[in-house]
Amino acid sequence: MKTRRKLVVFCFCAGGFAFLLITLLSNGSILGVWKLTSWTRSGNGLSCYRQLQSINGTAAVKENKLQDCFTGKPERTVSVMDIFRSIHTNWSFNTEEASKVRSELEESCQTSNLFITTQENVKYHGTIRYEGERFWWAFVTSDVYNRLPKKVPYKKGKFKKCSVVGNGGILLGSKCGKFIDAADFVIRMNFANVKNYTGDVGFKTDLVTCNPSQLIKQFSNLNKGGAEKLKNYAMQQYKSARVYTTPFAYQVQRNYCFKAQDILKPANIEVVFAHSDHLSSQRRFYGTKKNIKENRVTTGLLMFTAAISFCEEVHLYGFWPFSEDPDGKTLNYHYYEEQMHAQPVHDMTAEFKMLVDLHNKGAIRLHVGMC
């Protein structure tokens, strides 16, 4: 009788454990052996499981909540108002702090030499390592070499004042356009629509980034119709700008970037390519020295790094990673489209806090809200 009772209890426990495992895996959360043993060892597995069932969100969100339950950590919450209040309003430019940031970044990332892939920083018939696939290299054939400018077109400290324009929904209604355009050099992100929002974001553009995924999705793999669409869009929005893209991040992106360069060349729009060593050096710098742990930093942080090298005074607009403004009003993810915030793939809050710290020291100017 006792043996049978023990067998029933064992089967019940084993079945319960298997049910929990299947539930976790079905939610897309790969927790691994450590987390499962933590579950049984912590003694509060049932409580954590009940919390998991009540959580709305992606598998990544659930996994974070569950790990907090195991370890006893408090819920990961960010007070938008606390961050907003920490931004100093009586800002003044601190040349010494800006120089300190510039020197630190230049030493680690060598932006003045590696921002763009050029004939000076790669070898003809040599190789370029892919930033996202470190065991694969692109050969610098004559075709690749001839696509590159002779040298980086921007010198250290070349510009007095620069605007770096993110695409945050907080720009909508900001009336920052004329302030953005007043800068000597303006950088924009990801081929954002500016023509219909000039009052808020301005129109002047000297450098604009283009994510290869946009060439695939927004411009239909650059087929015949997509190629014409890309050309027309660039002519309308960014006729006088250089376009910056990343063919040496992943192999699959290379041909799309090269094709975009071929499409825009007849329109006298220059397409330049990120240097993979510059991308990876930024990930290492921000990861080790600023504790921003990401597979790749955001495009905004990439362009901030460039701007602090080429510009004496850097002003940031549209850098607000939260779904609400300081007054609690819901914001779109981008100012130019009605898309809500999704689970981020970057640690935008950590990036933003670092920028706030630099703003408060006077090294850069962070513009939030109305101008």
Q: Give the pLDDT confidence of 69-107 residue by residue, as tens digits.
A: 433 433 334 577 788 889 999 999 999 999 999 999 999
pLDDT given for residue 71 in this prediction: 39
CATH architecture of 82-367: Alpha-Beta Complex (3.90)
What amino acid occupies position 209? T
Q: DSSP character for 264? A: H
| Active site members | 346
Window from 57-66, 148-157, 195-204, 298-307 with minimum mean pLDDT: 57-66
Q: Give the pLDDT confidence of 194-224 residue by residue, as tens digits.
A: 999 999 999 999 999 999 999 999 999 999 8
d(CA 233, CA 35) in angstroms, rounded, equals: 49
Q: At 46, is the pLDDT very low, low, confident or very high (cuts 50, 70, 90)?
A: very low
Q: 3-class DSSP state for residue 247?
A: coil
Q: What is the mean pLDDT of the chain?
A: 83
Q: What average pLDDT does the segment 346-350 reach?
A: 82
Q: 3-class DSSP state for residue 366?
A: strand
Q: Give the pLDDT confidence of 233-254 residue by residue, as tens digits.
A: 999 999 999 999 999 999 999 9
Closest C-alpha to 304, from 260, 348, 269: 348
Q: What distance separates the 2 farthest-apart alpha carbons in the chain?
A: 88
pLDDT given for residue 26 in this prediction: 39
Q: DSSP character for 127? A: E
Domain boundary assignment for the chain: 2-71, 82-367
CB 250 within 8 A of CB 128: no
CB 154 within 8 A of CB 161: no
